[in-house]
Amino acid sequence: MQVRVIDHPLIQHKLSIIRDVNTGTKEFRELLEEIAMLMAYEITRNLPLEEIEIQTPVTTCRAKVLSGKKLAVVPILRAGLGMVNGVTRIIPAARVGHVGVYRDPETLNPVEYYCKFPTDIAERDIIVIDPMLATGGSVVAAIDMIKRSGAKNIKLMCLVAAPEGVRVVNDRHPDVEIYTAAVDERLNDHGYIVPGLGDAGDRIFGTK
């Protein structure tokens, strides 16, 4: 399995609270946003820098700035929306595309229903975000759509992954690096991650 687990103590602590069935919608949403921000910090660790000359109050000096790499964040609706603000808080120049995919509850197959990308998506590096990587069907469908639009450099950021989903994404999109806060044990008979955190969309939006 090719996957990078971000095991920073702050992320692991917040994830444990999120998993707890007694954590309510407000806290769930706030913590998910905070984790997304911390994970974005890790994912962007290798962004290229360049030097410019600046004037400090004391003197002029050479200083490092991002070298203009263009990024786009693509949340998978609905639950991916819960991670957008955390990412854009530290990457404010990132554009945001949207992919609508839901899992058919019977077949667990992905159903695509929405797609809107920045017009220059082909020139951007992409971070796909979705808290849950279960069978991998939704992520594979989303990445298929993104690649069809011309983007090439794609990373996936999720919160909890099942080994089954990681393998599927590795197999179908071996060029996509997966970042997650946890790889859990397995999927249950209904395609839910065990131990997981339940239905991420329902917990973010309070729909159940």
Q: With contacts defined by CB under 6 A, how many residues of the chain interact with ligand PRP?
A: 22
Closest by CA position to 70, among listed 123, 116, 118, 129: 123
Query: Per CB under 6 A, does 196 bind ligand PRP?
Result: no
140's tokens: 């594979």
Query: Per CB under 6 A, does 79 bind ligand PRP?
Result: yes
Q: How far is the CB of 189 from ligand PRP (least distance, A)?
A: 13
CB closer to ligand URA, 71 vs 80? 80
Q: How far is the CB of 161 from ligand PRP (least distance, A)?
A: 9
Closest by CA position to 66, among listed 93, 33, 89, 35: 93
Query: Per CB under 6 A, does 138 bind ligand PRP?
Result: yes
Q: Which does 192 bind (CB under 5 to 8 A by kind): ligand PRP, ligand URA, none?
A: ligand URA
* Cα 183 from Cα 160, distance rounded (Å): 6
Angle at 86 between CA 151 and CA 109, to 5 degrees: 55
| Cα→Cα distances 25→10, 170, 202, Å | 20, 32, 9
**Which residues of the shown chain bind ligand PRP in the complex (CB under 6 A)?**
76-79, 102-103, 108, 110, 130-138, 165, 191, 199-201
Q: Which residues are catalytic?
A: 103, 107, 199, 202
